[in-house]
Structure 1
Amino acid sequence: MLLLAECLNQQGKSTQAVPYLNQVRRRAGLANTTAASQAALTDVIAHERRVELAFENKRWLDLVRTGKAAEVMTAHGAKQKRKYSYILPQAYNITSNRLLFPIPQREITLNPQLTQNAGC
């Protein structure tokens, strides 16, 4: 339902997205959202997905899909580096080539016109 709410909101159908979001919030014992704009609703839905789907390994793909992976992980890495001295300086350096999965070698063998994603 949260993914449907996100899709509707991104299509500019925020009023249609709100009931799906609120249904999830009510099930969790939360009040209905007060987000009024499309941008605010985007943030509320992203937060709700983060909380509702915690420990289900959805966060990374959500960050990549929304284009926020480098920003969020770089900020998280900076915080971790300040906290723990043993983290290497090159850790948490998220670049665009780290956002792609490698193409399986068997697929490249089947189709020689495919090239491996950069950095994989």
Structure 2
Amino acid sequence: MLMAVFERTREIGMLMAIGMRRSKVFLLITLETFFLSLSGALIGLAIGFAWVLHLSRRGLDLSRFHDVMRELGVDSVIFPTLSPEMPYLILGIVMLTALFAALYPALKALALSPIEAIRK
């Protein structure tokens, strides 16, 4: 998001020059981050769920590490499972991380002077 803010410096400066409040600029960047992260998280969850479903039927063959697995007392084929609350936990962690990561670029955009941003 920081790169997006730097690439759109003139655009953000123009918006502020024509009267957009700094709170709206902050909201714009934060919402953009939220929706990009949400779409990425949902796609990632779908792919991850499909992969876990596949591995839960077929198993993850770790027989090449048989000696280590035997020492640990673990079977050489692992069948992963996904608890019902896990997708919600993953989605929550991803979204919180994304929103915290959006704070710095949003604050950086607020520090821009409209005139200096347009000149860049």
Higher helix share: 2
Higher RCO (C-alpha under 8 Å, 6+ residues apart): 2
- TM-score of the two chains, using structure 2 as the length reference: 0.29
